[in-house]
Amino acid sequence: MEYIKLIKEMPEIHCARGPKRCEECRKALKNKSFCLIKVYLEPGDITRPITEVYVGCRRIVGEYDVVKKFKTKEDAKKYAINHGIEIVFD
């Protein structure tokens, strides 16, 4: 399946119930960290969380998987430079 890889600050995910129904999910949303994510360009068979990204001027809303989590912003930046991956700052 086609996907793009980029680094973005993502909220933590607690469970599938989501922030509307789960108190722990609401708390987890506040814990953000930079992550290397794969955003899929078409919907898949399994339900994944969804994120919105911009590639150039193209807006993509797609399912994503977290590939790698970075401890600090600096770690994320280094990885982006070393691997030629786009990093998104809000």
Q: Which residues bind Zn ion (CB under 5 A)?
A: 14-15, 22, 24-25
Residue placing its CB nearer to Zn ion in the complex, 5 or 14: 14
Q: How far is CA 56 from CA 9, 27, 53, 65, in A?
A: 18, 32, 10, 21
Question: How many Å apart are CA 14 and CA 89, to the nearest integer?
Answer: 23
Residue placing its CB nearer to Zn ion in the complex, 14 or 48: 14
- The CB-of-56 to Zn ion minimum distance in angstroms stands at 34
- The CB-of-35 to Zn ion minimum distance in angstroms stands at 18
